[in-house]
Chain A
Amino acid sequence: MNDDFDDLDRALFALPLEAPPPGLRASILNATVYAPEPRIAAALARPWELWACGAALAVAAWLVASIVTQRAFASAFTADVLATVRPFAEPMTLSWIAVGFVLAATIWYLGDTTLRLPTRSVRS
């Protein structure tokens, strides 16, 4: 390809790039790295947690639908639930559950407060 554009090439290469409008970088960063995370995504950081929540919700929806639509299922389910829950109503079991809950809450609280990185300010 015969190319005789020396002057044009020189002029094109010398043409300066226009500066982006002020505030563009800040708006990009605000929309990306500094964008507030959605509440669910923030609470559930890992994909398996989302899957677990989805599965639990699906089971709950199935149970509600079954109880509402089938009377026999409702009575059998109620009996099953009562049989399952009864041992938990004993004082010793309840106290162990309370201890476990307090321990879990303490670990979660400590992990949440000490491992979080400080929020950075946005450069303009």
Chain B
Amino acid sequence: MLVAAAIAGRADAFGTLVERYERAVYHLCLRTMRDAEEAKDCTQEAFFKAFRSLATFKIGAKFSTWIFSIAYHACCDRLGTRKRYSDGEIPEWADPGPGPAQVAERNDEATALRAAIAGLPEKYRTVVTLYHLQGRRYEEIAEVLDVPMGTVKTHLFRAKELLRKALTTP
């Protein structure tokens, strides 16, 4: 097992884990932070923390859940700091810049969708990212976010409602 080899100190095993999850972790951080530079920092921080805490990893658990959870909490820590320093600069419904409908008019569905996701509140954004964009199951998302599974489903439903509204509102 790859994680067991990494715990045993094999550099190549941890390198493979980084290779395997780098993109997904970066993507989660990017969606949560909405800033490429901060997402990069959070990704590095997550892998660094994971590497330092490898000994605490429970063999048999899913590495993806573990690393996502570390990354998500790293993002939350930074968002908390950012909120403290910026004093409400990031509202629950952030202005994503040009409206999603405007972007859609440029016939770029992916860009419009990304803009709409970026405009979601943080808790909804993360659930959508993990469920739709990374194909995680409800149970895993609940574990990553440390919330009940019902909350994940509710957040997902509300996120989709908000997304549909954002994409159809001119």
Contacts and interface: CB of A to CB of B under 8 A. Distances in A.
Interface string A1-37: 1010100110111011111110011011101111000
Given A11-B113, A24-B43, A34 B11 contact: yes
Contacts, number: 81
A32 B43 contact: no
A33 B12 CA distance: 8
B153 A15 contact: no
A29 B10 CA distance: 12
Interface in B9-42: 11-12, 14-15, 18-19, 22-24, 26-27, 30, 36, 40
Most chain B beta-carbon contacts within 10 A, residue among A9, A16, A29, A123: A29
A28 B11 contact: no
A21 B44 CA distance: 12
B106 interface: no
B51 interface: yes
Nearest to B51: A32
Interface residues of B, number: 35
A120 B27 contact: no
B15 A123 contact: yes
A102 B115 CA distance: 70
B132 A15 contact: yes
A17 B132 contact: no
Interface in B45-60: 47-48, 51
Contacts of A34: 11
B137 interface: no
Contacts of A9: 132, 160
A103 to B, nearest CB: 29
A32 B50 CA distance: 9
B44 A24 contact: yes
B151 to A, nearest CB: 13
B8 to A, nearest CB: 12
B44 A31 contact: yes
Contacts of B109: 11
A8 B113 CA distance: 9
B40 A24 contact: yes
Interface of A: 1, 3, 5, 8-9, 11-13, 15-21, 24-25, 27-29, 31-34, 120, 123
